[in-house]
Amino acid sequence: MKIPTLDHVDVKGKRVLLRVDFNVPLEHGKVGDTSRITAALPTIQELQKKGAKIIILSHLGRPKNSHNTAYSLKPVAVALHHFLGTPVEFSPETVGPKAQALVDVLKPGHVLLLENVRFHEGEEKNDPHFAKKLAELGDIYVNDAFSVSHRAHASVEGITHYLPSYAGRLVEKELQTLNKHLHHPERPLMAILGGAKISTKLVLLKSLLEKVDLMAIGGGMAGTFLYARGYEVGKSLCEPSMKLEALDVLKEAKKRGIEVILPVDVVVATDSNGGVPYETVSIDHIGPDQMILDAGPKTVERILDMIDTAKTLVWNGPLGRVEVDPFDRGTTAIAKHIGARTQAGKLSSISGGGDTAAILNQAGCFNEFTYVSMAGGAFLEWLEGHPLPGIEALKAKHYSA
């Protein structure tokens, strides 16, 4: 079923309730990382050019249903004004008479940012009453927040029951990119998976085994896989209770003819916070007081060789403790290699989930990947094959082109 987009609606003079993800870090009352704001600009600017009255909905942090000013979106209005170069009004209310009054005087092409939707208990409970109150502020709803579309919240799913609903350009681009590269990829398709625990990635691992041709596993997860194969992993992150599940993953990969790279050497130390001696050892020489903190050079080389055989690649999660030098080196080397292959036209690369975008920024190759998703949990749930409530809600709506 097609998803209705801005191509399917005339927004001129209409009040458009636009759900974005402005869940940005605030530092001393100012926006730190503005990447989520700039990602929303194409949809906002298109709506401006088409003469819509734009009313923006977003959350910020976890204020626990209270009006905590530390989570106010007011600083975001200032940052958005800077990027748009046009006035951005701010409503101290999300719904209510003050918000309604500001909406009533809004002119075509102008922008109003409403206060944090999570100040209201009804948001995360997907309360129909709150969703309807939101809907009363607009004529049309546009979801441009793929990153929260895995949440059945009032401003994401509930509101679609009361307004004609459409996908914004960022959501449209994300879905097109993910479908192209994961459902219809140029093969071989490779996955690189890092992160701490196999228990949180088990569904993802099983889902990717149905899609990929090649796989590399690192990060804390690798400790559990090595343990399952009989290696001593010292004080490394490890989930002994997941031993059978790890072996099942490897067994299924072999059955499907999928080559899986696990570490053959690792960087270890007695403390993960740095400032202590570290060394590179083979996986059968990890000391009882040592912990795996990065992939070793031989492992990195094997992964780089595998990348060179791939045509499409999806990456989620670091291969080491990237917050601490020198345990970021393996991840950085792989990120830069992927970026270079992508820029040379030899690879399509997709990255997302968790802190992967921050990792690529740290490595200086964010803009070298084909696509970096800012979606976090929604990106992972999409990879796992779960339907996303915010997207399913758009599919269910009827529209005429």
180, 197, 298, 311: the active-site residue = 197
Angle of helix 219-228 relative to helix 243-256, nearest 10 degrees, comes to 90
Q: Residue 118 catalytic?
A: no
Structure-derived torsion over alpha carbons of residues 69, 74, 79, 80, reported in degrees to the nearest 10: 140
Two tokens, residue 359 = 């990792």
Q: How many residues does the chain have?
A: 401
138, 158, 353, 354: the active-site residue = 354
Inter-residue contact 363 to 333 (CB < 8 Å)? no
Q: Residue 377 catalytic?
A: yes
Q: Which residues contact 280 (CB under 8 A, 6 or more apart)?
A: 265, 266, 267, 268, 296, 297
336, 377, 385, 397: the active-site residue = 377
Rg (CA), the chain: 23
End-to-end CA distance of the chain: 14
**Dist. CA 323–CA 327, nearest whole Å:** 8
DSSP code, position 353: S
DSSP code, position 5: B
Q: Residue 354 catalytic?
A: yes
What burial class does residue 78 get, using C-beta atoms within 10 Å of its C-beta: 0-12 exposed, 13-18 middle, 19+ buried? middle
Angle of helix 356-363 relative to helix 329-343, nearest 10 degrees, comes to 80
Cα dihedral sign, 230-233-237-240:
positive
- Which of 103, 83, 1 is CA-nearest to residue 41? 83
Inter-residue contact 157 to 389 (CB < 8 Å)? yes
Q: Residue 36 catalytic?
A: yes
**Dist. CA 34–CA 362, nearest whole Å:** 15
Q: What 3-state class would DSSP assign to 312?
A: strand
14, 19, 36, 201: the active-site residue = 36
- Beta-sheet strands, E only, within 80-235: 88-91, 111-114, 140-143, 165-167, 189-193, 214-217
Give the residue numbers marked as catalytic.
36, 197, 354, 377
